[in-house]
Amino acid sequence: MKISKSPWVLHYDGSSCNGCDIEVLATMTPLYDVERFGIINTGNPKHADILLLTGGINAQTAPVVRQLYNQMPDPKVVIACGICSCDGGIFKDCYNILGGSDKVVPVDVYVPGCAVRPEALIDGVVKALAILEEKRVKVKESMKQGYCTVDYSKIAVRMKAEDYDPATQYDAVLTEEALREQAEQKIAQTAKPAPKPATPAAAPAAKPAADAAATKEGGNA
């Protein structure tokens, strides 16, 4: 059984003109009926597998998108819907637009269009499912090594508001591996220097190779 039989979607409007959002909702209608594929439009990042982003990213939505992405449990994929979400579109040169969704989160599938056609969108989601399956295998492997199972919960417990650095808010893309490294550093800093020596030393060496592939894949779908 594949996990891609039940993809739950989280839809977020970066700074769209609402054209793509209407098309996203159109896929739920009886005409397109994405529930055929088990797709549910959930409003909750903690239940979601696929992050659908519409519209370019502006200064105010950048931290929101990043937070939504970070709240989603692994494995997860990101789909940029519409040309604005792919690279900024006609709003690209606006003073407040940072660019496409890939400025703030790693995007797996780009679905162009203005507005994106529901057919193209469904096709994009189906492409994303294959990536989701690949990522699932990778997460499973990484969990066997024992570094993926703990880090996110530790982030939730140990990260505070003052740990968030506004200076690096927009220019750095916070990828999965960067997040993990941050988490491990924080754990190492806050952990009591008691019985366990620095065991994570073995894990970080293995993970960039495993995850670099995951985030770079599916560039131009």
**Residue from 77, 105, 148, 183 binding another protein (CB under 8 A):** 148
**Is residue 145 part of the contact set for another protein (CB under 8 A)?**
no
Tell me if 152 contacts another protein by CB under 8 A: yes
In this structure, the strands spanning 109-111 and 77-81 are parallel
Q: Give the integer Cα–Cα distance in Å for 61 and 170.
A: 11
Q: Say if residues 86 and 196 touch (Cβ distance below 8 Å).
A: no
Strand (E) positions, 90-169?
97-99, 109-111
Applying CB under 8 A, which part among 78-86, 97-105, 135-143, 177-185 lies near another protein?
135-143
Query: In angstroms, what is the minimal distance from the CB of 104 to another protein?
Result: 20
Q: How far apart are the first and last CA of the chain?
A: 25
Q: Which is nearer to another protein, 48 or 84 (CB)?
A: 48
- β 8-13/50-54 pair status: parallel
Which residues within the stretch 67-106 sit at the binding site for another protein (CB under 8 A)? Answer: 71, 73-75
How do beta strands 57-58 and 8-13 pair? unpaired
Interaction of residue 47 with another protein, rule CB under 8 A:
yes
Residue from 22, 35, 172, 173 in contact with another protein (CB under 8 A) = 35
Q: Which of 80, 121, 128, 139 binds another protein (CB under 8 A)?
A: 139
Residues that bind another protein in the complex, under the rule CB under 8 A: 1, 3, 5-6, 28, 30, 33, 35-38, 40-44, 46-47, 49, 71, 73-75, 136, 139-140, 143, 148-149, 152-153, 156
